[in-house]
A and B are shown apart, each in its own frame.
Chain A
Amino acid sequence: QVQLQESGPGLVKPSQTLSLTCTVSGGSISSGGYYWSWIRQHPGKGLEWIGCIYHTGSTNYNPSLKSRVIISVDTSKNQFSLKLSSVTAADTAVYYCARGGGYYDLLAGYLYGLYFDYWGQGTLVTVSS
């Protein structure tokens, strides 16, 4: 059974960089075949996909956040990470890491068919001075 666990600071100051790590157990990121995503949920609101990474290091980001997001992977530790820069109060949310699948459309130049079948428990990150 695949399990994911988010970790990182629960409080970040405005204008700083939010950094979170997701540790995967019960499965190997380096095995391939899956995309590893970050998804967030603003308090009392819906879900927003942030971006994902493949075991090769190939990334895909939501255009709405692309200028501030970096997702990286460390296959030796079976972890992947999120960095979100220049945060504001609007970035306060529960951040989830998730495993999923999808396909890459070479002609269109983007992922399609993305789904998320295993999720971490989520971690609340508050942006406040």
Chain B
Amino acid sequence: DVLMTQSPLSLPVTLGQPASISCRSSQSLVYSDGNTYLNWFQQRPGQSPRRLMYKVSNRDSGVPDRFSGSGSGTDFTLKISRVEAEDVGIYYCMQGAHWPPSFGQGTKLEIK
């Protein structure tokens, strides 16, 4: 299975400050069709996960533009330009390029 490794696992951030989460895969996530199948999910406390990004950098409908995704191959980053209180939760990366699909262990974002 493809191993997805996130860092940091805990991310205390001051309101209004930027935040960055790294996700590294044990194999390239570029599929033979040329697409890179890397998703980001947000799980707020007590809620189900919600997809934020797909194919590295495509924001889902309703996701604020302060969220951005970047990266290629095996290294990916989710950035929040200015953290707001509603961003508290756990963030997961997930790969869909290899069988079976797999998630990172999660990064817990909290307000400092």
Residues of A near any B CB (own CB < 8 A): 45-49, 62-64, 96, 102-103, 105, 108, 110-117, 119-122
Main SS class of interface, B: loop
Residues of B near any A CB (own CB < 8 A): 1, 31-33, 35, 37, 39, 41, 47-51, 54, 60, 92, 94, 96-106
B50, A119: Cβ atoms under 8 Å?
Answer: yes
B101, A49: Cβ atoms under 8 Å?
Answer: yes
Name B60's closest neighbour in chain A (CB-CB).
A117
A39 to B: closest C-beta gap in Å: 8
How many pairs of A and B residues are in contact by the CB < 8 Å rule? Answer: 62
Assembly CA distance A103 to B50 (angstroms): 21
| With A113-B35, A117-B60 as contacts: A48 and B48 at CB distance below 8 Å | no
B41: chain A residues at CB < 8 Å are: 47, 116
A120, B48: Cβ atoms under 8 Å?
Answer: yes
Assembly CA distance A48 to B32 (angstroms): 25
B48, A102: Cβ atoms under 8 Å?
Answer: no
| With A111-B99, A115-B54 as contacts: A46 and B104 at CB distance below 8 Å | yes
Among A47, A111, A114, the most chain B Cβ lie within 10 Å of the Cβ of A47
B33: chain A residues at CB < 8 Å are: 103
Main SS class of interface, A: strand
B35 to A: closest C-beta gap in Å: 7
A49, B100: Cβ atoms under 8 Å?
Answer: yes
| With A112-B37, A122-B48 as contacts: A47 and B99 at CB distance below 8 Å | no
A113, B60: Cβ atoms under 8 Å?
Answer: no
14 A-B residue pairings within 8 Å (CB atoms): A47-B49, A47-B92, A47-B94, A47-B103, A48-B103, A49-B103, A96-B49, A103-B33, A112-B31, A112-B97, A113-B35, A115-B37, A115-B54, A116-B51
